[in-house]
Amino acid sequence: MPHSISIGDLTLDVAVPARPSHPPVLMVHGIMGGAWYFAKWVEFFSARGHPAYALNLRGHHGSRPVENFGQVSVMDYVADVRDAVSGIREKHPGAPLALVGHSMGGLVVQKSAESVSPAAVVLLSSVPPRGIPLLSWPLFRREIKHVPEMVASRAIIASPRDAADLFLNRVDPTEVASFVPLWTPASGRVGREITFGCIAVEEKKVPCPVLVVAGADDVAIPPRIQRKVARKYAAPFRLYEGNAHFLIWEAGWDRIASHAASWLDQTLARATARSG
């Protein structure tokens, strides 16, 4: 079972097998979330032999407290990932490391990959970097009311109905209701940076293999956007019918995790062979 650890003032959920047989994986959550987003994936990857870590970004669930959440930036989150990676590498010296990012966490992982040299990256329903427009009509008509908070870098409190319609449209309604107490506010500054494509990523600085995964029914970040992300990195693209934005939790999540793990195992095996 996953348990909580600290790396400096960051908190992470972790499950490390007694005898790891594969390299570590660090998972980075999306907006309003936390390490709990990846609860199923942490257990799944640990059972396959990976030391599995899920990061709580600053201001989320007791991790790296902040005074003004609305002013937190994507680059602050990138710094959190860098610090978490350093701590994980101390625990697993010499092992290649994979990064997995969901939604906003996918953009954070892309930007982090420029500097932390992961052996592989998996992007799940990922926010795109600069140059790939994000806004779809369903997202725009719900985001426009939060423009004042974005401009003023204030915290955003999302409507549970909007979250359910945009991000959780393939999650059982009973589970959706159980998520509400676990959600955090969103940073207005991060919302601005994401909505208006402020974060650039140089694909040449992300030399590791990348896998891009999308749900066919994702109304927040549709597959057409994910395909463009895949083209940016010349990455394989996998589309799952019947899944949507929260594909790390929806019915069929284990099939998606299995396919991602198989791809990672092959990719990390090659990285291990090269480093050896």
| Host domain of residue 118 | 3-275
How far apart CA 66 and CA 195 sit, in angstroms, is 22
In total, how many domains does the chain have? 1
Whole-prediction pTM: 0.95
Angle between helical axes of 188-195 and 104-116 (0-180°, round to 10): 80
Write the pLDDT tens digit of every residue in 16-42: 999 999 999 999 999 999 999 999 999
Contacts of 127 (CB under 8 A, 6+ apart): 30, 103, 104, 106, 107, 134, 194, 221
Write the pLDDT tens digit of every residue in 207-236: 899 999 999 999 999 999 999 999 999 999
Which CATH number does the domain housing residue 107 bear?
3.40.50.1820
Contacts of range 252-260, beta carbons closer than 8 Å, 24 or more positions apart: 253/40, 253/41, 254/40, 254/44, 256/124, 256/213, 257/40, 257/41, 257/44, 257/45, 258/44, 260/100, 260/122, 260/124, 260/211, 260/213
